[in-house]
Amino acid sequence: TTLTANIAGFEFDDILLNAAGVYCMTTEELDQVLTAPGAGSLVTKSATPSFRAGNPAPRFTKMPLGSINSMGLPNNGLDYYLDYVITKQAVKPLFLSIAGLTKTDNLAMLHQIQASNFNGLVELNLSCPNVPGKPQTAYDFDATRAILTEVFQFYTKPLGVKLPPYFDIVHFDMVAAVLNDFPLAFVNTINSIGNALAIDPETDSVMIAPKGGFGGIGGEIVKPTALANVRALRLRLNPAIKIIGTGGVQTGRDVYEHILCGADLVSVGTNLAFEGPAIFDRLKTELLAEMAKKGYRSLADFRGNLQTL
């Protein structure tokens, strides 16, 4: 049984990786994902041009059926992560995530990456929900078209975008109409469901400090939305644009369902934060068992084969 995928000519021997933001702030964390059995790649914490402290703590916490976070884009700066992926890229194909606070910052980072020895894939994060005063770019279809137009005038290495969840069929149509106009290697969907609220029953208080307690949610609670976004985009996007499915993965059956909806790779956030990198081998074992039960020997046997009634 093979668990392979190909994005922009990069062959992945395993299809699981971390979701940006989880287990990827430091080189120590990144090394744990790099060497984890069952993990086929990794993505770095979304980078800004220089170090950011991010929002005040508590800024990530467990809640019933998942997690809530308002990290505020803390990161060690682009150079830190660019050096890491260049050093390690011979091991396996790697993803470098960037999330500039302005179009200028994103373009400057991409010029630097274009000129560097990085030979992997960039994930342009257009969906951070937690920077006060900054909207999620990918909820503005004109802004999304504008930045991709400028990016592809000079950036020639493989690039994809990290998308927020959409909740309206017409919005699936509109974002796909934008993305299909560009030579994207992939989209990663979904990012957390932004600006939710969780209440501590002991204290009648919000659970995280930033933004009056508002934060992005992930984990089991977001799986139906995640599967819908993977499926909707698979049905609408040019087949050359591959899909990384993210959201609500805690079992091999969840991985299987992302693939059934059309995912090529599957990333794990909340439950990786809770369980640690050992989750990758568990998910791989459970996925193989699910495939064996169905008589499938490769992901191509069932990828995108969700049945309708």
Ligand X SMILES: O=C(O)c1[nH]c(=O)[nH]c(=O)c1I
Residues marked as catalytic: 128
In the block, residue with structure tokens 């390690």: 88
Give whichever of 60 and 256 is closer to ligand X, judged by the CB atom. 60
Give whichever of 73 and 161 is closer to ligand X, judged by the CB atom. 73
216 binds ligand X (CB under 6 A): yes
Stretch that binds ligand X, among 10-18, 25-33, 126-134, 149-157 (CB under 6 A): 126-134
Q: Is 139 strand, coil or helix? A: helix
Q: What is the closest distance, in whole angstroms, from the C-beta atom of residue 148 to ligand X in the complex? A: 18
Query: Which x/- pattern over 172-201 shows residues binding ligand X (rule: CB under 6 A)?
Result: -------------------xx---------
Among 32, 41, 127, 250, binds ligand X (CB under 6 A): 127
Among residues 243, 239, 272, 248, the alpha carbon closest in space to that of 259 is found at 243
40 binds ligand X (CB under 6 A): no
229 binds ligand X (CB under 6 A): no
Cα 131 → chain centroid = 17
Give whichever of 137 and 250 is closer to ligand X, judged by the CB atom. 137
- The conformation of residue 46, written as its DSSP 8-state character, comes to P
7 binds ligand X (CB under 6 A): no
Among 21, 120, 219, 245, binds ligand X (CB under 6 A): 21
47 binds ligand X (CB under 6 A): no
Cα 183 → chain centroid = 19
Question: DSSP E strands: which ranges in 181-248?
Answer: 186-189, 193-197, 199-200, 205-206, 214-218, 242-246
Among 5, 30, 36, 71, binds ligand X (CB under 6 A): 71
Q: What angle do CA 137, 86, 265 make, to 5 degrees?
A: 55
Among 46, 188, 267, 270, binds ligand X (CB under 6 A): 46
DSSP H helices, the chain, are: 27-34, 78-88, 103-115, 141-151, 169-179, 223-236, 252-260, 270-275, 279-294
Q: Which of residues 236-265 bind ligand X (CB under 6 A)?
A: none
Strand-pairing partners, residue 267, are: 17, 246
CA atoms within 13 A on the CB side of 260: 17
- CB distance 47 to 24 below 8 Å: no
44 binds ligand X (CB under 6 A): no
Q: What is the closest distance, in whole angstroms, from the C-beta atom of residue 138 to ligand X in the complex? A: 10
Contacting residues toward ligand X, per CB under 6 A:
21, 46, 69-73, 99, 125, 127-130, 191-192, 216
